[in-house]
Amino acid sequence: MKQFNILQVEDNEGDVFLIEEAFKEAESNVNIIVARNGREAIEYLNNCAAIPSMIVPDLILLDINLPKLNGHQVLKYCKSSEFKEIPIIILSTSSASDDIVNAYKNYANCYITKPMELVDYIDTIKSIESYWLKLSQLPNSILNESN
């Protein structure tokens, strides 16, 4: 089974842990790369462009409320760069209509409000895993298989 590389852009340690545990519980073959703020995420992607041995993510899980650069800024950067084909799922506590509309205006592939209950949170991550890693065909995965 192919391993999927996920860039998780999240500053909350609890959410980082929950997402990792949910993927483990779903028995997903994932490698999770964590960026703790928006600037760190962009630096990671820039390094991927400059250093061939860096792991380019197949999927990005992006929080909106981040220090240094917020999720909207990271999303705009990604969708206007060579990484524009990487699917980006917004996973945020914000359910503000402005955040949702702005995310889709900037080409987010999906917007999910983080559930408050642990069981729902795990179910949400399992749904992401089921749809994005099993059902969908991801551009980076296809490119890597053909090389």
Give me the pLDDT at residue 144, please. 54
What pTM was estimated for this model as a whole?
0.92
State which amino acid sits at residue 131.
Y
Q: How many other β-carbons are positioned within 10 Å of the β-carbon of residue 54?
A: 14
User: Using CA atoms, how far apart are residues 124 and 114, in angstroms rounded to an integer?
Assistant: 8
Beta bridge partners of 9: 35, 62
The one-digit pLDDT tens for each residue of the chain (147 residues) are 688 999 999 999 999 998 998 888 888 899 999 999 999 999 999 999 898 899 999 999 999 999 999 999 999 999 999 999 999 999 999 999 999 999 999 999 999 999 988 889 889 999 999 999 889 888 865 445 544
Q: Where are the alpha helices (DSSP H) in the chain?
A: 13-25, 38-50, 71-79, 97-105, 118-128, 139-146
pLDDT of residue 147: 44
Let me know if domain 4-139 sits in CATH 3.40.50.720. Answer: no
Burial class (CB in 10 A: 0-12, 13-18, 19+), 67: exposed
Q: Are 99 and 92 in contact (CB under 8 A)?
A: yes
| Total Cβ atoms within 10 A of residue 53 | 6
pLDDT at 146: 43
| pLDDT value at residue 1 | 65
For residue 52, what is the DSSP state? Answer: T
Residue-by-residue DSSP string for 74-107: HHHHHHTSTTTTS-EEEEES---HHHHHHHHHTT
Spatial contact of 31 and 55, defined as CB atoms under 8 Å apart? yes
pLDDT value at residue 139: 81
- Using the Cα atoms of residue 84, residue 85, residue 86 and residue 88 in order, give the sign of their dihedral: positive
pLDDT attached to residue 79: 96
pLDDT of residue 141: 54
